Amino acid sequence: MKSIDLDRLKATVEGAIENLIVLDTIDSTHLMARRILEQVDEDGAPLRPTLVVATSQTGGQGRGANTWESPTGGLYVNWLSGNLSTALVPMLPMIAATAAHAALTGVGIDEVRIKWPNDLLIGDKKVAGLLIHCRHTEQVLATIGFGVNIACTPRIAGAPPIHPPTCILDALPDVEATESACRVLMNFVAQLESGLEDPQSSVRSWRKNLLHREGDTIAVRVASGDLIRGLFEGVTEEGHVRISTEDGERTLSSGDIIED
């Protein structure tokens, strides 16, 4: 297993963000980010732009009830901000996915697609995922979690997933793991910042890079467990998926596209 050199990662990112926390291993950078946001909220103190980075997690969190397998050889990141406008919050999944897409294409991978809402695929395999959490109290506190398989292809327990995992080094075997992690991380932070400055262009890019095209047959598993089948009709301004079913058009704000 190729591992990522923590000191080189730290040296590369220092200077790109005010507050940087780099750890060898942690339960979950997402959980740590949530703990920081709770504390900031309690103290009522401003939150400096912060990045929590780890090279392995013992309790990685995925979307919904999923776990995120986080062995050595992956990059596990949470970006935290305390000064976002409320209007940006619904756009965060799209802005984050665009930043992740640009971070991956920026290291030379072709064929990266965004599977609605914000999974990152190379071909039909999943290379990265995003997990977003916001707290709205006096200030909008937000954290964006980004997990990327750099040099590891995690084993997924249970039934084979419809998009089996892959990693960056599968696509770019001649690239060094640490070099790739440094570039992905720097690209991600820079692209996130520019996406927040110009959200409309980020959302346009998100639409353009979506995996599904109008007319594709899809099935979406929604929170109730129901499966909604139909034709993909595109996405709304808010990034919700439009699907035409036998019973008419439905708009879904969340769910997993599990068949196509």
Closest CA to 128 of 140, 142, 141, 113: 113
Stretch that binds ligand BTN, among 91-99, 142-150, 175-183, 243-251 (CB under 6 A): 142-150
Q: Largest Cα–Cα distance in the chain?
A: 56
- The reply to whether 147 sits near ligand BTN by the rule CB under 6 A is yes
Closest separation between CB of residue 68 and ligand BTN, Å?
4
Kindly tell me which residue out of 129, 165, 199, 230 binds ligand BTN, with binding defined by CB under 6 A.
129
Using rule CB under 6 A, residue 163 touches ligand BTN: no
Let me know if 154 is exposed, middle or buried by CB neighbors in 10 A (0-12, 13-18, 19+).
middle
Count of beta carbons in the 10 Å neighbourhood of residue 73: 22
Residue nearest to ligand BTN (CB): 129
Residue 145 touches ligand BTN, criterion: CB under 6 A: yes
Question: Quick one: 29 or 139, whose CB is closer to ligand BTN?
Answer: 29
Q: Helices (DSSP H) in the chain: which residue ranges?
A: 6-13, 29-43, 92-105, 168-171, 177-197, 199-208
Q: Which is nearer to ligand BTN, 115 or 230 (CB)?
A: 115
Q: How far is the CB of 3 from ligand BTN (least distance, A)?
A: 17
Q: How far apart are CA 248 and CA 90, in angstroms?
A: 25
The CB-side HSE value for 152 (13 A sphere, CA atoms) comes to: 22
- Strand, coil or helix: what is 87? helix
Asked if 66 is part of the footprint of ligand BTN (rule: CB under 6 A), the reply reads: yes
The reply on whether position 76 binds ligand BTN by CB under 6 A is yes
Nearest partner of 142 among 220, 90, 69, judged by Cα: 90
In this chain, which of 3, 55, 56, 57 binds ligand BTN, going by CB under 6 A? 57
* 29 binding ligand BTN? (CB under 6 A): yes
Residue 77 lies near ligand BTN (rule: CB under 6 A) = yes
Only one of the segments 14-22, 98-106, 128-136, 214-222 lies at the binding site for ligand BTN (rule: CB under 6 A); that segment is 128-136
Cβ–Cβ under 8 Å, residues 100 and 130:
yes
Q: Which residues contact 39 (CB under 8 A, 6 or more apart)?
A: none
Binding mask 9-28 for ligand BTN (x = CB under 6 A): -------------------x
In the complex, the smallest distance separating the C-beta of residue 246 from ligand BTN, rounded to whole angstroms, is 30
Overall residue count recorded for the chain in this entry: 260
Indicate the residue type of 155. R
Q: Summarize as ranges the residues that interact with ligand BTN (CB under 6 A).
A: 28-30, 57, 60-63, 66, 68, 76-78, 119, 129-131, 145-147
